[in-house]
Amino acid sequence: MAELTVALHGGVIGTLSDRGAAFDFTPTGDAVRRYGLGSRVLSAAIPLAPRPAASTRPVRQNFFAELLPEGNARRRLALEAGLDADDVIAMLRVYGRDVAGAIQVWDAALPGEPRTPATEPLDDEGVARLLRDVGIHPLGNKPRRGKTSLNGVQDKIVLVRTETGWARSLDGFPSTHIVKPIVGRYPSMIFDEEYGSRFARVLGLADFSTEVMTFAGEKALVIERYDRSGSAADGRIHQEDFNQVLGCRGDQKYEIYGKRGLSDVAKILTPGDREKLLRMVALSIAVGNLDMHLKNIALLHDADGGYVLAPMYDVVPQHFPEYDNDGELALSVVGVFDYAQIHRDLIVEEAEAWGVADASTIVDEALSVTLEVAQREIPHSGAHPGLQQLIARTTESLLAGRTVIGTEPGVPGEGPRPAAGRGAWEWPNARAPRVGGLSDDPPLEAGD
C-alpha cells in the first residue's frame, strides 16, 4: 500500500495511506509524543491519536481534500498531470508541496523526493504571461516542477517575492503572494476586492497587503499570503478554513447546502475571536460581501496546538445587478439569507446568540468606522462605478436602523432569485421557486 508523507512546520507529522476512496491519515508516534495525545496542531477537527477512529475517517479525508482547488481550476490541474480530479491522493502526490497552511505532502517512494525547493526568477513579461495563461496552467504551476495547490474557484497564480523581484515556485518553495488577473465577465472584481481590503485593514481585521499592480500591461491584484513568513519555521504559518474545521465538502461552504452557519463558526472561537467574527459580519453586510462562506473564514494555528481566527480575506463587494448573483448571503444572519432584508438589529441578534457581550456597541463601532473609510477612501478607477457611494449609503442605512436598501425592517422584498452567483455567482438557488426548468440536481461547480 502506497503512502504519502505529511509534514507540518517542516517536520514529518504522519502519513496518508493510499487506499483509493478509503484513504486515511495516521500521525506518527513521534508526532503524537511531540505534540501530545489529542493535540489539534494539525486541525481543530483532527485530534492526534496513534490509532485514529475509523468513524472519524471522513473528517480526516475531507481535511486533505479541501486543500485542493474547486471547479475548473481543479480539473485543469488534473488534466495537466494526467490525473482523475477526484483522486485526492494522486492530486496531492503531485501538488501537495505548496498548499494552504504549513502542510507539505510528498511521495517518499518516488526517486528524488522530497525535492529541494527552488525558485525561477520572472520579469514583468514572465508574470504577465502566467496571468494570460492562467486558464491553461492554473496557479502558474510549471509543468512537472510546479507543486502548488490552493483552494478556491477564482483564477489566480502564486508567486514568490524575493530580494530581487518576482519568481515562480518550484518543487514546493513556499509562495508568498497570490495574484489574480482581471476576470472577463466581471472586469471590476479585482479592483472592488482591493477596495474591500482597505476596510478590513482599518478595522484591524487584516494585516497583509493587497494592491493593484501592472505587469507588462496586465493589471492584477497582488495579495500577500498571511500564511507565509520568512521568520516562521519552513516559511509557513499553519491555517485551515472552516470547511475543514466543520467537515464540510466543496459546495457545503454555503449554508443552504452544508447546513452549517455563523453560529457553528462561533462555537469554535474564543470570546475575543467571536467579537472579531462579529466585526467581519458587520463589515461584510456594509460593503456587500455576500460571499463570506466557510472557505472564506479560517483559523491560524500555532506550533503548540492553539488557534485563533485568521485575518479576513476575499472581501469582495458584489451587490451589483451586473454580477447576476442571487442577492443572498452565503451564511445567513439569524436565518435570513436575503441580503435586502438585513438590518443592524439582525446582526446584533445573531451575535447575541453566540454569547457576545455588548454586541450592539461592537456593531455600531464597526459600522461607524466603515462609513468613515467609505467617505474618505476613493476606489481604484477600475472599480465598479458608484462603489464608494453605494457602500456609504448602505452603511448609513444600517446605522439608522434601516435595511441595506434603505427600507424599514420587515417590509417584504422580492424574494430569492432563481440562480446565485460565482463566489455567490451562478449557483442553482435551493430557496427560489422552481422556474425555467431548474431541477433538483446538485449545484454545479463554479465555471461549469
Catalytic positions, written as ranges: 291
Q: Which of 406, 427, 221 is nearest to 324 (CA)?
A: 427
Residue 437's φ and ψ, nearest 5 degrees, are 80, 15
C-alpha cell at 353: 446568540
The one-character DSSP state at 441 is P
Angstrom distances, CA of residue 273 to CA of 237, 267, 278, 299, 331: 19, 10, 8, 10, 18
**36: helix, coil or strand?**
coil
How far is the C-alpha of 326 from the C-alpha of 426, rounded, in Å?
Answer: 8
Nine cell digits for residue 240? 485551515
Give the separation between CA 169 and CA 16, rounded to whole angstroms: 24
Q: Using CA atoms, how far apart are residues 165 and 149, in angstroms rounded to an integer?
A: 22
Backbone angles phi, psi at 78, to 5 degrees: -65, -45
**Cα dihedral 14→297→323→325 (10° resolution):** 90
Angle at 430 between CA 428 and CA 433, to 5 degrees: 95
Residue whose cell numbers read 461552504: 253
Dihedral sign computed on CA atoms, order 81, 87, 90, 95: positive
